[in-house]
Amino acid sequence: MRPSCTSEPPLLRCDMPSPTVAAVINTSPDTIEMLRVVLQHAGMVVASAYTYQLRDGLIDLATFMRQNNPAVVLYDIAPPYDANWALFEHLRSHEAMRNCPLVLTSTNASYVEKLAGKDHPVYEIVGKPLDLDAIVRATKEALRSRPTR
């Protein structure tokens, strides 16, 4: 007889696929919560961090990525744009994020697109005020384009 894979209460089943995890890195608690709600509604689990936590070393990027294993990262480029773009580039170069698809958000998408440049890899950039449907579409597209793990 096959052993049971369920436990009391039956919240998890062994034959269920792992949930898709989206990491949200943002400066605003309200934006993080809003994205959490919309992405959970789209069937994803959300792990989040504040930009300053990564910038100031309060959260280790490698540990955050290893513990949460996100399939996609939603990252906000906030003012000052140049400094936060430099932080993004630094984080993006880290081994833990190198192959993870991204969706960028910004209050000034056209400026961030200029920072990205034509020779830089293209990331989906969604401006604020946030179009939640566009963010969900961009996240799903990024998931479809991700390399196989």
Per residue of the chain (149 residues), what is the pLDDT tens digit?
444 444 344 454 555 578 899 999 999 999 999 999 999 999 999 999 999 999 999 999 999 999 999 999 999 999 999 999 999 999 999 998 988 999 999 888 888 888 888 766 556 778 777 788 989 999 999 999 876 65
Give the other-Cβ count within 10 Å of 138's Cβ. 22
Residue 78 per-residue DSSP state: P
Contact criterion met (CB below 8 Å) for 21 and 44? yes
Q: And the tokens for 16? A: 């269920």
42-63 burial: b if 16+ Cβ within 10 Å, else e: bebbbbbbbbeebeeeeeebee
Amino acid at 41: H
Query: What pTM was computed for the model?
Result: 0.82
